[in-house]
Amino acid sequence: MFTLETGMTDEFLTRLNEYEQQRYAKMLRVRERGINPYPLRAPRTHTTRAVIDAFTRGETLTGAQIAGRLIALRDMGKLTFAHLHDGAGKIQLMFRKDQVGAEQYTMLVKEFDLGDFIGVTGDVIQTKTGEITIQVARFELLAKTLAPLPEKFHGLKDTEQRYRQRYLDLLSNADVKKIFVARSKIVTAMRAYLDAHDFLEVETPALQALYGGAAAQPFITHHNALDRDLYLRIADELYLKRLLIGGFERVYEISKDFRNEGIDHTHNPEFTMMECYQAYGDYTTMMTLVEEVYAACALAANGSLAVTRGEHAIDLTPPWRRVTMRDLIAETSNVDIYACPDLGSLNARIEELNLKVQRHPTWGKMVDELFGTFAEPTLIQPAFVMDYPEEISPFAKKKPENPKIVERFEAFGGAMELGNAFTELNDPYDQYTRFIEQGAQRAAGDKDAHELDWDFIQALMHGMPPTGGLGIGIDRMTMLLTNQESIREVIIFPQLRT
RNA sequence: GGGCCGGUAGCUCAAUUGGCAGAGCAACAGCCUUUUAAGCUGUGGGUUCAGGGUUCGAUUCCCUGCCGGCUCACCA
């Protein structure tokens, strides 16, 4: 049992449990030896990986300096084996009492703990069992660890602790680290693709006086100096389009959007979206872009266009299936939405077939309900679902032959939405009537419907070229490419609590 | 927001019908010069999520709250 020394009763210590107090006492004893337990610098000449690679190539390494965290200590009396972990991997260390000196050796055994950062210098050898090992000549403490790390064999499983103390999750569960490495590669590959295709990366406001560009409720915040409420953006769309009006022909933004909605395994209140707009393109241009970006990101993350989703093997190789929403709904529910062009006839057809679906106040929302219920779950292999109801797509251009339908597609794979794109609406009067229509839906109780954004109409009045626009959710893309069922596994600090 | 399930040692998990709260790892005191989930001997470690109730007695049964998981609703 460890007893605190006199004078060591400050408030910090009262917060420590028994294990932490033991380590704190060890830290003090190290300090009494004249050693700084938190030195300012850590010299190192090699990573663990570099040492192993060099040895494997047959190079003789003497006096290699490495640094990292102690993750195992096996004290055998006058000989101690340890493992040291750094960002590149891990390597075994061998401390011999007759080599490092009795005083140092005792400090190692008595005062060092699992989790401590140490630096070692020594020659690289192989043990009897063939493991590449640093035979330590000198070592030093680089940073004392006061809190014990999770037990190494079972790892950390408590979900709440995994997300709230993600650093422990990353230390304990090697696969978790791989997910975030893959995510980084995905984003890098996406940027590289867009940059190589002459898209300009821009940054638009996250704090907005009027939010828009998607159907969602916003977070509201307050600016003190202006003494007014501002919204956190729910989409980048309306600002990026203003840039096309200003003469940029290809722009993109990768940023957080914020939507004040429920939290579940596919929704986090803040999430990362890539939006891009290409002048003189349309939604078919964006289909090609989606196929190519997904291929580039899949190769970067996995080195392959094949991904696994539960029991399903998914092939991302272009070209992806292209199917109209009309055909897909007809195929999966036996309803031809074009033969039922208004809410009354559509509802009659649904009753006739005795379909169990929720009812909605507009034709467009009923079509979306049929799609979500019957069609979406079947979309395992990648596919573009084309031509959506105008009523649920206020920023997409109508099809000339059918004004109830717009040129919009959503990409699907693994029964998840992978992207959303339009032939962008650039007719200011039509855009105005869409806002008025949205206003009516809002008045009828739809909290997600748009408010009139006259500033945006004014921008369109100055002329926007024919344009294709696209949004890809980075989190869901990462879920698909890393075979994760929960968005929390691909967001490094997810929002908790349902 | 609704329904169902859960919260026990630093970590992973047990605990019979309501009857002394345990194990492995980790820790502490020792032994050990080729181990690698090292081994051996010994020791300590608990507000059983919090608060209330029933009971001779509650980890266990009931109520409330907090936190989390799954699911439905909302929502891409």
What are the pLDDT tens digits along chain A (498 aa)? 334 444 445 677 877 888 888 999 999 999 999 999 999 999 999 999 999 999 999 988 888 999 999 999 999 999 999 999 999 999 999 999 999 999 999 999 999 999 999 999 999 999 999 999 999 999 999 999 998 888 777 777 777 788 888 888 888 888 888 999 999 999 999 999 999 999 999 999 999 999 989 888 888 888 999 999 999 999 999 999 999 999 999 999 999 999 988 888 888 989 999 999 999 999 999 999 999 999 999 999 999 999 988 778 999 999 999 999 999 999 999 999 999 999 999 999 998 988 888 888 889 999 999 998 889 888 999 999 999 999 999 999 999 999 999 999 999 998 889 999 999 999 999 999 999 999 988 888 888 888 899 999 999 999 999 999 999 999 999 999 998 888 888 999 888 765
Interface pTM, i.e. ipTM: 0.86
- Rounded to whole angstroms, the Cα distance separating A356 from A103 reads 78
- Number of helices (H), then strands (E), belonging to chain A: the values are 16, 19
- Rounded to whole angstroms, the Cα distance separating A218 from A269 reads 10
Q: pLDDT (tens digit, 9 = 90+) per residue, A157-196?
A: 777 788 888 888 888 888 888 999 999 999 999 999 999 9
Residue with tokens 């791989």: A178
- Rounded to whole angstroms, the Cα distance separating A381 from A383 reads 6
Q: Which nucleotide, over all strands, has the C1' atom closest to the CA of A92?
A: B36
Å from the A148 CA to the B27 C1':
10
Residue nearest to nucleotide B73 (CA to C1'): A262
**Closest alpha carbon to A315 in A383, A265, A362:** A383
Å from the A257 CA to the B75 C1':
14
Query: What's A219's DSSP letter?
Result: P
- Rounded to whole angstroms, the Cα distance separating A193 from A187 reads 10
List bases, strand B, within 7 Å of protein CB. 1-3, 10-13, 24-29, 31-39, 44-45, 67-76
CB atoms within 10 A of CB A195: 12
CB atoms within 10 A of CB A232: 20
Instruction: Using the Cα atoms of residue A376, residue A269, residue A358 and residue A410 in order, give the sign of their dihedral.
Output: negative
As given in the structure block, the two tokens for residue A142 are: 């680089």
The pTM score is: 0.91
Q: Which nucleotide, over all strands, has the C1' atom closest to the CA of A488?
A: B69
- Find residue A264's DSSP bridge partners: A267
Q: pLDDT (tens digit, 9 = 90+) per residue, A306-356?
A: 998 877 899 999 999 999 999 999 999 999 999 999 999 999 999 898 888
**List of long-range contacts for A52-59, beta carbons under 8 Å, 24+ apart:** A52/A89, A52/A91, A52/A132, A54/A124, A55/A124, A55/A126, A55/A132, A56/A132
